[in-house]
Amino acid sequence: MANQATGLTHIIKAAGYSYKGLSAARQHEAAFRRGMVVTVLAIILAVWLDVGAIARILLIGSVALVMIVEILNSAIEAVVDRIGSEHHELSGRAKDMGSAAVSLAIVLALFVWVRSYGSISADERRLLTDFLFILRFPIRAYLYILTARLYKQQGTE
């Protein structure tokens, strides 16, 4: 291991590997792509809402945590799939645990957002409800398109 990068070279290489990982998640994981849409909308809402700095950090951090756990779950699934396609109890357990981690992160994010919803003013609550009502149509359309693409890809493989 004499050729290991150090200092600035190490940081640059690590950033490149991180970019490759994000690109792979975006390219190969439909759940990651859907999560990115939700994350962008959540960040916009968190910035728009009249909440304190700590609440804003919690709102954004909770959705970021979901994305982080989703990437880790995808990595676990990729490693398990690489090891072999035959069914094995430990492989199933690893995938189930990864899925459970994602679910727990989502529950935590929902808790943070629901709790924060109670701390905003009635006018903001009304505007937020109207905004989410309007957004449900393009979000549904986007999810239908992603689902159709996924089924199309599965049919061609």
Dist. CA 111–CA 108, nearest whole Å:
5
Tell me whether residue 89 is one of the annotated catalytic residues: no
The reported pTM is: 0.71
Q: What is the CATH number of domain 30-156?
A: 1.10.287.3610
- Asked if 55 and 114 touch (Cβ cutoff 8 Å), the reply is no
Answer with the residue of higher pLDDT: 77 or 142. Answer: 77
Percent of the chain scoring above 70 in pLDDT: 87
> Is 113 within any annotated ligand binding site?
no
Is 1 a residue whose pLDDT tops 60? Answer: no
Question: Hey, what amino acid is at 115?
Answer: R
> Is 77 within any annotated ligand binding site?
yes
> Is 124 within any annotated ligand binding site?
no
> Is 95 within any annotated ligand binding site?
yes
pLDDT digits (tens, 9 = 90+) for 99-155: 899 999 999 998 888 888 777 777 777 776 776 667 677 767 767 776 777 777 776
Least confident of 35-39, 60-64, 125-129: 125-129
